[in-house]
Amino acid sequence: MKILKNADILTMNDGPVLQRGDLWIAEGRIIKIAAEEENGPGEHSGGMGKTAWEGAEAVPPETEIFDCTGCTVMPGLIDAHCHFDQSYMADFFLASGVTSVRSLRGFEGHAGWRDEILAGTRRGPYIYSSGPVYDGEDPSIPHNDNVILYSREDVEAAIAFVKSQGFLWMKTYPMIEPELYRYLLRRCEEENLPVCGHMTKRMEHRYLADHGYTCCEHTSSLPADPEEIRYMAEAGMWFCPTHVVCETLPDYVWNGKQLRDLPHYEDLPECIRRKWEEDNAVIIENYRKWNVHPDFQMIIDRAKTFLRYSDKVMAGTDCPYPGIVPGFAMADELEKLVNVYGMSVYQALQAATVRPAEYIGIEKEKGRILPGMDADLVVLEGNPLDNIGNVRRVKQVFQGTRDWNRETLQSYLTAAGRLKKEEIEVILGKDGQPLD
């Protein structure tokens, strides 16, 4: 048994923060929330099952007590768009309070890591993964890890692989032939396999919205026509802006930003920093050569159009793209959702907890603080509702039966940062090669 004592509890259950409450954990689950102070009888807890304060004598022996005076406890964050395929990333996620990830390019290695993390034999965020990226032939990308679909047989094999690995989504890229893509959508619907990815521009967005295409990844993928965006939103499609990665382009190419300016950059392994510098140099050179100046206001306006019609929005980062530090970039994305997209702080926090849990289908276990739910929790020094930046002030992280304090998490980060290239486990792509 563990008790988080004297905590302000941000349940994400649409009620106010519970003041100076105690949160009881047993066997990796929240079993009781006892608030010493209530703001009013009953109604504020929104049916969250809060029990009356039962006093110290009810505490069983050998209970571990965590003094959370002055701290806010909230559900563990979920990065709703990332690529968790290098082992060093695991501790970066946990140290920043990310206890689950939606990983969007799954190979057999991901299924292995997912199972080991669930079993407690590997440390890292819980993994909810799509299958590999399926695409049509694209001569502009000569070497990549995308799996090319040429025929209906290929589609069947892809569906079979995704299901055999227990992956949750079929991830597609835009180059699949429209007729074959319609077949894929139909078959995925029959197999209850939601489709997501980079939206094809070769077919109507309305058609996609009506045929099992469940999530638009990246703000830059939204169509130009506001009526189409409205249709998608009202049809129930989800949206994961990953604004933080969209903005890396002008920041590094035109605004003089340097990778070394990033918070926690120095914590990254040296080989990763070197690779990011090299990759970023190529990106910068190309965009300068082609004189690419994306119209960011236009892109932001499209996102705001979506938000006008839907709250099905998830916070994702696209780490480990160069400049997107695993885990810690979630705070950057949440700040963008508030400061750039005009979401309220509470909506932004929903996008990192309740909403991805709903999209993934784990809303009964994760994303809120309620009796019976998994004990995936972050203890923050300060209330993120006062200042979204307080999500950076992680004091303690709970994930099921495990928990780590800041010192332990920092020691993991330090150790991860010292890993040499050959010591980092890397998930292999379709040809048994490391993913790029």
Smallest distance from Zn ion to CB 83, Å: 6
Smallest distance from Zn ion to CB 381, Å: 31
Segment lying near Zn ion (by CB under 5 A), choices 19-27, 119-127, 292-300, 317-325: 317-325
Size of the residue set binding Zn ion (CB under 5 A): 1
Segment lying near Zn ion (by CB under 5 A), choices 65-73, 191-199, 314-322, 360-368: 314-322
Query: Backbone phi, then psi, for 147, in 5-degree steps?
Result: -95, 125
Smallest distance from Zn ion to CB 78, Å: 15
Please, which residue, 13 or 317, has the CB nearer to Zn ion?
A: 317
Quote the DSSP letter at residue 23: E
Smallest distance from Zn ion to CB 207, Å: 23
Please, which residue, 105 or 312, has the CB nearer to Zn ion?
A: 105
Tokens standing for 228?
């189409």
Segment lying near Zn ion (by CB under 5 A), choices 28-36, 232-240, 310-318, 422-430: 310-318
Tokens 């119209």 label which residue?
295
Count Cβ atoms below 10 Å from residue 321 Cβ, excluding itself: 18
Q: Are 142 and 173 in contact (CB under 8 A)?
A: no
Segment lying near Zn ion (by CB under 5 A), choices 41-49, 201-209, 261-269, 313-321: 313-321
Residue nearest to Zn ion according to CB distances in the complex: 318
Helix (H) or strand (E) holding 32: strand 29-35
- Contact set for Zn ion, span 227-246 (CB under 5 A): none
Smallest distance from Zn ion to CB 197, Å: 9
Segment lying near Zn ion (by CB under 5 A), choices 137-145, 183-191, 318-326, 415-423: 318-326
End-to-end Cα distance, the chain: 43
Based on the shown chain and the rule CB under 5 A, indicate whether residue 318 belongs to the binding site for Zn ion: yes
Q: Are 305 and 362 in contact (CB under 8 A)?
A: no
Helix (H) or strand (E) holding 306: helix 296-309
Based on the shown chain and the rule CB under 5 A, indicate whether residue 145 belongs to the binding site for Zn ion: no
Please, which residue, 84 or 113, has the CB nearer to Zn ion?
A: 84
Based on the shown chain and the rule CB under 5 A, indicate whether residue 79 belongs to the binding site for Zn ion: no
Smallest distance from Zn ion to CB 79, Å: 11
- How many angstroms separate the Cα of 190 from the Cα of each of 184, 186, 271, 306? 10, 6, 44, 28
Q: Are 166 and 128 in contact (CB under 8 A)?
A: no
Half-sphere exposure (Cβ direction) of 391: Cα atoms closer than 13 Å: 31
Please, which residue, 87 or 221, has the CB nearer to Zn ion?
A: 221
According to DSSP, the residues that pair with 217 across neighbouring strands are 240
Tokens standing for 208?
């996609």
Pairing outcome for strands 18-26 and 2-9 = antiparallel
Smallest distance from Zn ion to CB 408, Å: 30
- Contact set for Zn ion, span 104-123 (CB under 5 A): none
Residues that bind Zn ion in the complex, under the rule CB under 5 A: 318
